Amino acid sequence: MSLDLGVYRREMRRQRKEPIPVAEQFADVVVAVAAELTRKQRGLLIVVDEVQEVHPDLLGAFGPVIQQLQRRAESTAMIVFGGLPTIPQLVTRAVTYVERMAFHAIDNLDEAATAHALAQPAKDAGRPFDADALDRLITVTEGYPFFVQLYGDCTWQESVGAEIISIEHVDAGIDLASNDSRRAVHLGR
């Protein structure tokens, strides 16, 4: 009795696949998540604040996302860029297909909105403003959203331990905000 053994050898050439660009991978993930959330009657919101600080190459990754989402009218997804008034020019240079986006400038808050933005969180946290302190902060910020946030936060820090936020806390908060802003500019932030 004889036994013949053979070895079958098949050479396979591995095909080298080109890597998928990061922008396309990002778009695929966002679109898939948006589709699933839409199916579940939910939504997706992507917010990129201070977009002027984002490198144009990274900002460009939003192009394919915007393009794919535009093709899906049923999608409950939205991308919001926030930042300085130069955003339309910055985004248009960095992101293809962006000319179809809507740009909306947000103006300063009026006095009532400024008062609400400052007073309500403080009241909810158990440390309300006295009337003079709130009036001073409204006047100083002029409703400019960044100043409302910055001066409000610094005033809050200066009023730790107090039951009511006074005008002295506001003045100290303004000084703290001014010093922090000057330091940030000096450090190149």
Of 59, 80, 100, which residue sits at a domain end?
Answer: 100
Q: Among 58, 74, 100, give the residue marking a domain's end.
A: 100
Which of 72, 100, 128 is a domain's end point? Answer: 100
How far is Cα 110 from Cα 152, in angstroms, rounded to an integer? 16
List the CATH number of the domain containing 170: 1.10.8
Instruction: Give the global pTM.
Output: 0.60
Residue 4 lies in a domain: no
- Are 83 and 50 in contact, with CB atoms under 8 Å apart? yes
In sequence order, which residues have a C-beta less than 8 Å from that of residue 106 and are 6 or more positions away?
145
Asked whether residue 36 is domain-assigned, the answer is yes
Number of domains in the chain: 2
| pLDDT tens series, the chain, 189 aa | 554 444 555 555 555 566 667 778 889 999 999 999 999 999 999 999 888 899 888 888 888 888 888 888 899 999 998 888 888 888 888 887 777 778 888 889 999 999 999 999 999 999 999 999 999 999 999 999 989 999 999 999 999 999 999 999 999 999 999 887 654 443 344
Would you say residue 106 lies in a domain? no
Whether residue 171 sits in one domain with residue 122: yes
Do residues 70 and 133 share a domain? Answer: no
Does 119 reside within a domain? yes
Eight-class DSSP state of 165: B
| Residues 6+ positions from 117 with CB-CB distance below 8 Å | 109, 148, 152
Question: Which pLDDT belongs to residue 189?
Answer: 41
Residue 155, domain extent: 111-180
Contact 69, 116 (CB under 8 A): no
CA neighbours within 13 Å on the CB side: how many for 34? 23
